[in-house]
């Protein structure tokens, strides 16, 4: 029920627009690395100092005009230049919808190509995030068209899809991030039960560790992480073949511990004013995320219901203020 609530909120364009006007709220300031590029670069430097690399997402949603997509492209290229200029250990994550996928496929393709081309000049990797099912195949089509020209482009495989194993095999020669999935998908194409999703998640990780190029394992679940540690040990898989990934602001102690243990670790660093949809999806993914945010916003004794109540209150306040303008 909570997942459906937050997924619905993440897709609310009205609330997204209202949230932009009031800065980082609802605890988002703890899991979004600032609203501008300078703040993001500073966060990256701090993580790098602990042996942690980063993937940077210049947040953006609800892009329906070519001018908006062109501006997003410009901003992402500025991130690439900042990564190069500051010589930080970081790469790019981008969403095709932010670059015009919902407007025109060819237009989006050219935008992604320009970004990948610029990044390739500095040997910076670009990860193309996957979104909901209606954007899935066009996103794979972009990967198909560009991967033959560039070797610095990879993508994401979402474990809740029935076809995830087929996609994993098709793109085994790409650097892949494997995730459970953050959108609400119909039961005809995706697992609905957490047990089924977790089981498929593990199967995908195992297969790609044994057969793929490089595996980014995106999870906050310590049980999965411990399982992977045992699996790579038993199968003599080099630590250079994979990395663990977590989101900025979540399970900080575990992020630092894994890096100290000598595992490749990458933190997903989102930044920008367009934080609302990203933040709602993080809350939707698992109830534990809501607990983590509530504890950071209030105190360690704060329970989940207080976090929900506070979030609902602030969302209502944003909505009321926006309507009154």
User: pLDDT value at position 261?
Assistant: 97
One-letter-per-residue 3-state SS of 104-143 = CHHHHHHHHHHHHHHHHHCCCCEEECCCCHHHHHHHHHHH
Burial of 226 (0-12, 13-18, 19+ CB in 10 A): exposed
Would you say 161 and 190 are in contact if contact means Cβ atoms under 8 Å apart?
Answer: yes
pLDDT band (50, 70, 90) for residue 35:
confident
Q: What is the mean pLDDT of residues 61-80?
A: 94
Q: Tokens for 210?
A: 């044994």
Q: What is the mean pLDDT of residues 5-13?
A: 55
- Structural domains in the chain, CATH included, are 1-26+287-325 (no CATH), 33-274 (3.20.20.220)
pLDDT band (50, 70, 90) for residue 313:
very low
Q: What is the mean pLDDT of residues 197-209?
A: 98
Kindly give, in sequence order, each residue whose CB lies less than 8 Å from that of residue 140, ignoring residues fewer than 6 positions away: 155, 167
Which residues are the active-site residues?
Answer: 129, 177
Please state, in angstroms and as integers, the Cα–Cα distance from residue 198 to each residue in 33, 193, 207, 223, following that order. Answer: 28, 9, 14, 11
pLDDT band (50, 70, 90) for residue 60:
confident
User: pLDDT value at position 14?
Assistant: 56
pLDDT at residue 27 greater than cutoff 70: no
* DSSP notation for 220-231: --HHHHHHHHHH
pLDDT at residue 324 greater than cutoff 90: no
DSSP 8-state code for residue 161: B
- Reported as a single tens digit per residue, the pLDDT across 133-163 is 999 999 999 999 999 999 999 999 999 999 9
- Reported as a single tens digit per residue, the pLDDT across 244-270 is 999 998 899 999 999 999 999 999 999
pLDDT at residue 210 greater than cutoff 70: yes
Q: Give the Cα separation of 6 and 10 in Å (integer).
A: 6
pLDDT at residue 325 greater than cutoff 50: no
Mean pLDDT (the chain) is 85
pLDDT at residue 302 greater than cutoff 50: no
Q: What is the mean pLDDT of residues 75-102?
A: 97
User: pLDDT value at position 286?
Assistant: 58
User: pLDDT value at position 288?
Assistant: 58
Would you say 274 and 58 are in contact if contact means Cβ atoms under 8 Å apart?
Answer: no
Q: Which percentage of the chain shows pLDDT scores above 90?
A: 70
pLDDT at residue 20 greater than cutoff 60: no
pLDDT band (50, 70, 90) for residue 289:
low
Which of 274, 287, 317, 252 minimizes the C-alpha distance to 97?
Answer: 274
37-46, 184-193, 281-290: least confident range: 281-290
């Amino acid at each position: 029920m909570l997942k459906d609530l937050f997924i619905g909120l993440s897709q609310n364009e009205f609330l997204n627009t209202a949230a932009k006007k009031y800065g980082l709220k609802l605890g988002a300031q703890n899991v979004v690395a600032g609203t501008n590029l300078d703040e993001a670069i500073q966060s990256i430097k701090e993580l790098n100092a602990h042996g942690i690399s980063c993937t940077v997402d210049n947040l953006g949603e609800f892009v329906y005009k070519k001018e908006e997509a062109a501006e997003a492209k410009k901003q992402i290229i500025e991130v690439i230049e900042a990564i190069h200029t500051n010589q930080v250990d970081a790469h790019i994550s981008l969403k095709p919808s932010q670059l015009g996928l919902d407007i025109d496929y060819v237009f989006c393709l050219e935008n992604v190509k320009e970004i990948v081309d610029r990044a390739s000049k500095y040997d910076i990797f670009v990860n193309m995030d996957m979104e909901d099912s209606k954007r899935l195949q066009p996103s794979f089509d972009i990967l198909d068209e560009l991967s033959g020209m560039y070797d610095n482009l990879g993508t994401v495989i979402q474990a809740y899809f029935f076809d995830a194993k087929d996609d994993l095999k098709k793109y085994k020669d790409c650097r892949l991030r494997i995730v459970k999935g953050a959108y609400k998908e119909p039961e005809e194409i995706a697992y609905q039960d957490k047990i089924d999703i977790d089981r498929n998640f593990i199967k995908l990780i195992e297969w790609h560790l044994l057969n793929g190029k490089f595996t980014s394992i995106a999870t906050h679940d310590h049980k999965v992480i411990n399982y992977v540690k045992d699996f790579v040990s038993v199968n003599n898989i080099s630590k250079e073949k994979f990395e663990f990934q977590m989101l900025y602001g979540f399970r900080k102690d575990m992020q630092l511990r894994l890096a100290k243990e000598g595992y490749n670790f990458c933190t997903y660093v989102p930044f920008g004013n367009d934080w609302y949809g990203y933040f709602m999806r993080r809350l939707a993914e698992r109830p534990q995320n809501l607990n983590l945010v509530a504890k950071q916003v209030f105190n360690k004794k704060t329970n989940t219901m207080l976090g929900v109540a506070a979030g609902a209150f602030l969302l209502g306040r944003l909505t009321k203020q926006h309507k009154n303008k």
